Amino acid sequence: MEAVSWVRDQAVGINGCDEWLTELADFSKVYLMGSSSGGNIAYNAGVRALDLDFNPINIVGLIMNQPFFSGVERTESELRLVDDRIVPLKVNDLMWSLSLPKGCDRDHEYCNPQNPNVSLIEKIKRLPKCLIRGYSSDPMVDRQMAFANMLEAHGVHVIKKFDDEGYHGVEIFDQQKAQILYDDIKTFIWSFGDKMSTL
């Protein structure tokens, strides 16, 4: 949320504005993006931003690449990939035990977005267009697909990009997958209408 506030401050010129942003940024089209835990953060920040006034910036899209979610009940992909070389289930569980508020389990809303309460559902319905990406050899793929379906069920416009070949963080290791991620993001941003820079 501090990062979103910084962008708003740039848009209104608080403490000056970076010259590059002044010349090139379109503050009326802001996107929140993250990969893995960053995808989870982009979602949760997007939900929190709905309650705040960031005028004149406008968050028009969320980009979540392989968002990192979990839950108490195991999914088929978690069980199938229990000893995954990137995120084995024991490591996944340990990271959540270190990250969640004291006394909470993996069904906490920050970890498992599948059962939102009524007030959260009303916020979810107001989320902007979302791009959600994942790979079949990611232990969290079932959760990512269920998350995308949950958003759609609440009326959110979701673009789903799930690939049969790939694993958690594959873009770090595979240049072709990194290019596909870049192309998916570019296509998503261009889907908002105005012709964008080729940077």
Which of 35, 36, 77, 137 does the annotation list as catalytic?
36
Q: Is 13 exposed, middle or buried (0-12, 13-18, 19+ CB in 10 A)?
A: exposed
**In contact, 132 and 67? CB cutoff 8 Å:** yes
Identify whether 119 is a catalytic site residue. no
Tell me, yes or no, if 84 is annotated catalytic: no
Is 163 designated active site? no
DSSP state of 199: -
Q: Which residues contact 51 (CB under 8 A, 6 or more apart)?
A: 123
**Nearest CA among 76, 67, 158, 74 for reference residue 113:** 67
Query: Which entry of 70, 137, 138, 142 is annotated as an active-site residue?
Result: 138
Hey, what amino acid is at 171? Answer: E
Residues 6 or more apart in contact with residue 47 via CB below 8 angstroms: 120, 123, 124, 127
Active-site residue list: 36, 138, 168
